Structure 1
Amino acid sequence: MTNTKIVSPKQDILYMVILSAVVLTMPIWLQPFGAAYPDLMQKFMIFGIFAIGYNILFGLTGYLSFGHAAFLGVGSYTAVWSFKLLSMNVIPALIFGTVLSGLFALAIGFVSLRRSGIYFSILTLAFAQMSYNLAYSVLTPITNGETGLQLTQGDARILDRAAGIQADASLPTPNLFGIEGIGYSGFYICAALMLISFFIYLRIFRSPFGLKLRAIKSNQSRMGYTGYNTRPYLMTAFVISGMYAGLAGSLLAVTDPLAGAERMQWTASGEIVLITILGGVGTLIGPLLGAGIIKYFENILSAFNDTVLVNAFSFLPDWLANGVASVLGLFVGDGWHLTLGLVFMLIVIFLPGGIMEGINRLWRLVSNRSSSSAEDKEKEQPSTKEA
């Protein structure tokens, strides 16, 4: 079993208050970093939900899934179908997307969790690729194939029409009782759901159920010898993780009502693994940090093209500015993946526990220095009195 530090409920409440303050003020403090626009902040929230859900499986149990993009795609497709058939209100879309993804995770987990280690990972990857190919070709009447599932003027929207809500000439926008799911209002909808999701994740982390999951990660065989059947715990963690992915996929459809098979591709599953490892596997806040860093790189660094770089170094002679822009151009713009790869490599080599390990090291260093300085002052006091 793993050692778990007892944390009081007041500390968790303080944790949630601080996190809520940081998240809800993002439009202010992200301004200097050029990331305070709604679309990017929505991605921070959505992939934060995806990451903390994935961390319930990978971080707590140690089971590495390469197929979580399948649940992300199911959530997106379900949400768009909810918009087309029922209502543009986001609540039915989020509920159906989350529940259906959980049921899909139950089916996949029933088979995949019969194996562990690399065999489990390969099974989840196989199911995800099968789901991708089904969505891309076989299930075209449901998914619209490579074109993707989109809203149209002729959609039924039964609940909206029954409530007397008529669509105008333009396509309707997903909303929460009239609050649009795009722009800054859309960001705050995503932020509220992320905070709720994190609170649930925090309760799981602190609960006896979370302790059993960490015990499975520590030594599953020993836990079996003590009389625990680990399979129900693993299945529950897998389903909960799939539901989080479904919620994230549904929110992607809320911010952009389009569902395509590319959301189920293996690269999307690999991205969430990278996000979790970069932030810190098994930590509370690490997955959120990893999601923020990768999405920031993806949207900000990729926007720096040769023209922007040359203008940035225009104070230099032309030949030098062009040379610097050519070198830096390898790491930004289309080459931003190179920068991400270097960062990931440095993190894995020097901080195997992710960014959170670096933060904890700094915290311990500061704490040790402050405690040592306090001890030095206490030692100086008697000598002062004697003088």
Structure 2
Amino acid sequence: MNNLMPRNDLFLLLGFTAVVLTMPIWLAPFGAGYPDLLQRFMIFGIFAVGFNILFGLTGYLSFGHAAFFGVGSYAAVWSFKLLTLDAIPAMIFAVLISGLFALLIGFLCLRRSGIYFSILTLAFAQMSYNLAYSVLTPITNGETGLQLTINDPRVLDAAMGQGFAGQPVPTLLGQQMSGYAGFYFCAGFLILSFFIAQRIAGSPFGMMLKAIKSNQTRMQFTGFNTRPYALSAFVISGMYAGLAGALLAVTDPLAGAERMQWTASGEVVLMTILGGVGTLVGPVIGAWIIKYFENILSALNDNILARFWSFLPDGVADVVVKVTSKFVGDGWHLTLGLVFVIIVIFLPGGIMEGVRRLAALFRRSGSSSAKPSARTQPAE
């Protein structure tokens, strides 16, 4: 096995798998053990892992990845409407369509680098959003969004004699992709996506991407054509985004233009920076933290805060509730902003830098305690 994968990578993959599969257990005390939120953790973890291949490994900052996320959702829903409610064909179709779209956008945007590349990706993302919202309404159903109906043709299901009495929902081998079944379905794809990203990072192709990030100009001066490698990273990253969008359509069979807004592109940038750019686990942790804040802190209100601070004296509790209420509910973005500022100032490498610092501290303390105490020898 060591010939196929380095031991450290194997341990990391096994540890990551164990953490992901046991999330319903260890997240339950934090109020985040319910399936809908766990599915979001998995989906946006995939989104962040794919974005990190482009940003973390290659050094290209894209503000337009929400376009591929939205295209993946639309492609999956159209697969459910036209072909079959089975999730696997929809996933394959969404990844292929997103990859082709990323190939087109990347071919145009990678003619520039730096801030100009970022602005180009943002422009294409906004164009995609406006096309989906207004121009391509026969395909996207505009602001209402694309939904499944009983009257959809679903030719493969019809050919196999499969009918549905109620509202059609995506399935896998007859199992509806909702609840914990949907979570473990998404978890399997997150683990697979993490494994692929891990192999890419350690491969010669990954070394080339890191070299592009380190000094692309020097590589070009030596006569090395870096554009095919950057374009490949862009397409792979776009396919990851399409996969995440398809999974969101599997668990929530609705595709809307809001999934392609620039705010969604900015969110995945925050996830990656918060967790640690260029690391494997960091972007996933960043995605989990942001989605936790979005779903848990946004649900808090004055009544919940009053019960939480009830151990304080009445006057003090009222003041504390009034202050903390500004950071939860509709103000959860303020809490996220403060956390992000603190991380960027004190841990520029993200949460994973903090983990590395703690690990180094424990190693130093362990090595110092293991050293034998020096004894003073009397002079002869």
Q: Which TM class, normalised by the smaller chain length?
A: over 0.9
Find out whether 1:352 has 2:348 as its counterpart. Answer: yes
Residues 63-106 of structure 1, C-alpha deviations (whole Å, 9 max, x = no match): 10000000000000000111111111001110011110000000
Structure 2 distance, partners of 1:10, 1:20, is 15
Structure 1 distance, partners of 2:304, 2:373, is 56
Structure 2 distance, partners of 1:22, 1:317, is 40
Report the CA distance between 1:321 and its aligned residue: 2.7
Structure 2 distance, partners of 1:314, 1:365, is 38
Residue matched to 1:243: 239
Find out whether 1:143 has 2:146 as its counterpart. Answer: no
Structure 1 distance, partners of 2:310, 2:359, is 40
Amino acid at match of 1:56: I
Report the CA distance between 1:25 and its aligned residue: 0.6
Find out whether 1:273 has 2:269 as its counterpart. Answer: yes
Amino acid at match of 1:17: L
Amino acid at match of 2:79: S
Cα pair 2:43 2:248 within 8 Å, conserved: yes
Report the CA distance between 1:10 and its aligned residue: 2.3
Residue matched to 2:302: 306
Out of 6, 24, 36, which is 1:9 matched to?
A: 6
Q: Answer with 359-368 or 309-318: which moved more.
A: 309-318
Residue matched to 2:259: 263
Q: Answer with 244-253 or 324-333: which moved more.
A: 324-333
Residue matched to 1:90: 87
Report the CA distance between 1:108 and its aligned residue: 0.3
Structure 2 distance, partners of 1:117, 1:315, is 53
Residue matched to 1:212: 208
Amino acid at match of 2:133: Y
In structure 2, stretches of 5+ residues that fail to align are none
Structure 2 distance, partners of 1:18, 1:315, is 39
Out of 356, 366, 369, which is 2:365 matched to?
A: 369
Residue matched to 1:40: 37
Residue matched to 2:325: 329
Report the CA distance between 1:236 and its aligned residue: 0.1
Cα pair 2:149 2:168 within 8 Å, conserved: no
Residue matched to 1:3: none
Query: How many residue pairs were aligned?
Result: 375
Residues 261-308 of structure 1, C-alpha deviations (whole Å, 9 max, x = no match): 000000000000000000000011100110011001011111101121
Structure 1 distance, partners of 2:21, 2:195, is 15
Report the CA distance between 1:13 and its aligned residue: 1.6
* TM-score, normalised with respect to structure 1: 0.94
Amino acid at match of 1:116: S
Residue matched to 1:67: 64
Residue matched to 2:156: 159
Structure 2 distance, partners of 1:22, 1:275, is 19
Report the CA distance between 1:378 and its aligned residue: 5.8
Structure 1 distance, partners of 2:10, 2:176, is 30
RMSD (Å) for aligned C-alpha atoms: 1.5
Identity of aligned residues (%): 70
Structure 2 distance, partners of 1:15, 1:281, is 17
Report the CA distance between 1:179 and its aligned residue: 2.1
Cα pair 2:48 2:283 within 8 Å, conserved: yes
Amino acid at match of 2:69: L
Report the CA distance between 1:317 and its aligned residue: 4.3
Q: Answer with 152-161 or 10-19: which moved more.
A: 10-19
Residue matched to 1:110: 107
Residue matched to 1:4: none
Out of 198, 218, 233, which is 1:222 matched to?
A: 218
Structure 1 distance, partners of 2:5, 2:263, is 39
Report the CA distance between 1:311 and its aligned residue: 2.3
Q: Secondary structure at the match of 2:233?
A: helix
Find out whether 1:284 has 2:319 as its counterpart. Answer: no
Find out whether 1:123 has 2:120 as its counterpart. Answer: yes
In structure 1, stretches of 5+ residues that fail to align are 1-6
Amino acid at match of 1:237: A
Residue matched to 2:188: 192
Report the CA distance between 1:218 and its aligned residue: 0.5
Structure 2 distance, partners of 1:8, 1:157, is 42
Report the CA distance between 1:11 and its aligned residue: 2.1
Structure 2 distance, partners of 1:292, 1:333, is 18
Report the CA distance between 1:9 and its aligned residue: 1.9
Report the CA distance between 1:350 and its aligned residue: 0.7
